[in-house]
Chains A and B, each alone.
Chain A
């Protein structure tokens, strides 16, 4: 057992979709399921961390309070946090550090979102000091624009093809087919993907993740508490990374107009995205060679290939080979996105990084049904949020 382990006693999710209801409802369903899964009651919880949503008014900005209230005030301390797409992992880290400090024993971590249709857009108004507003105004740089830049670069540098990008979507659609929480439970063919309209070339509509409604929750406890409950071998959170970039960050990131300049101070050995998983591996005392499965942030199909390299599954430029060899399919050497990934879920921002950990929990318990990765003992998640938020969680059993 690692010195920084905390136990995952419960995992729960509300199915992803476009339900159009209050986000609080999804979070409450997820909390109730996680609590039931953990075999505890709401009144046993001594700390709540809520991942904020920016698109649902004030209750979304104070998610910890919103969910504690919806479950019934019990006087416990609460926290709310926001880290864009990495919000869920940051919420997990707040819970973990509180548990490891001995200041909490049973913590609920929850995130839920209701999203508008179409592109995620910046806040309204003439916001000339907000880079998120400016990039839409001056460049028309939507989120898929950045995904398109990364994808085109893979083609020109590494010889990636449109077929490779489509193959990622096809793989993930097979994985998510029987996942009851996935929004899209349908197998896509390469032909269907390649016939879908271009969004940000070379990326097509079926290769770019949708925005979804959904909710996910975990019950995290101290290892002692798990033992006290008679659970000898729980799935654990063994490493968490919530790193920010090291200057100069030389790969263009959302929502920026430019990278940092490396003219005066040289670039670090690891790119920001490489540093995300590296920090989690360091924390867990593990390496890429120990990993049995990975859940990575496939905001686009091509981005999944970048992650193979960023989390150390292969060298830069070798991701296409890993994919083509079937290594990242269920049954392959290192399955990636066994849940179906964002390709099957779409993104419910503050819930997504928590949902990744729910999947690892079920996989490491052997409860993942038809998408089970046989014998999985170690899993890693990876994710990146705009404005410099990295996140990665390593789970072990």
Chain B
């Protein structure tokens, strides 16, 4: 492990619990609706736009909805390793929240070994780093992998 400080790549989206991490979303208890990300471009439940929303930790397990591996370097603001390495984006359906959440597939998982429907869990992983910090995001990995 390096001595760099581990900081979230974006504030307020992750609880940064290294052993049992969760995404942080909102719950509107009146309509029973969850939201993620909390404040960015989410649809309210119609009729409940004014309902109070409280911060909750979302389930950190779900089922794989689909996945794709990118073989070309995306444009900025993606911070790519040099040389570029292909990476996989996975879509995972949280059972309790009944919502699909995107995340990269955890490092070291072979994308040809996963299939739609299998159980996945959330992990914290470094997205990129600079001289002082490691910038951390959530990623998905198969349960038990």
Contact = CB atoms under 8 A, between A and B. Distances in A.
A140 B101 contact: no
A259 to B, nearest CB: 4
Contacts, number: 161
Contacts of B79: 137
Contacts of B119: none
Contacts of A128: 10
A249 B91 CA distance: 15
Given A134-B10, A248-B43, A256-B41, A198 B71 contact: yes
The dominant DSSP class at the B interface is: loop
What class of interface size applies to chain B in its complex with A?
Answer: 35 or more
Given A137-B79, A201-B68, A252-B65, A265 B45 contact: yes
Interface residues of A, number: 55
A157 B116 contact: yes
Given A138-B127, A142-B70, A264-B28, A257 B102 contact: yes
A151 B66 CA distance: 9
B99 interface: yes
B10 A156 contact: no
B68 A140 contact: no
Interface in A164-204: 197-203
A135 B42 CA distance: 14
Interface in A327-348: none
Contacts of B68: 145, 148-149, 151-152, 200-203
A372 interface: no
Interface centre among B10, B28, B66, B79 (most CB of A within 10 A): B66
Interface of B: 9-10, 28, 31-37, 39-46, 65-72, 74-80, 87, 89, 91, 96-104, 111, 115-117, 127, 137
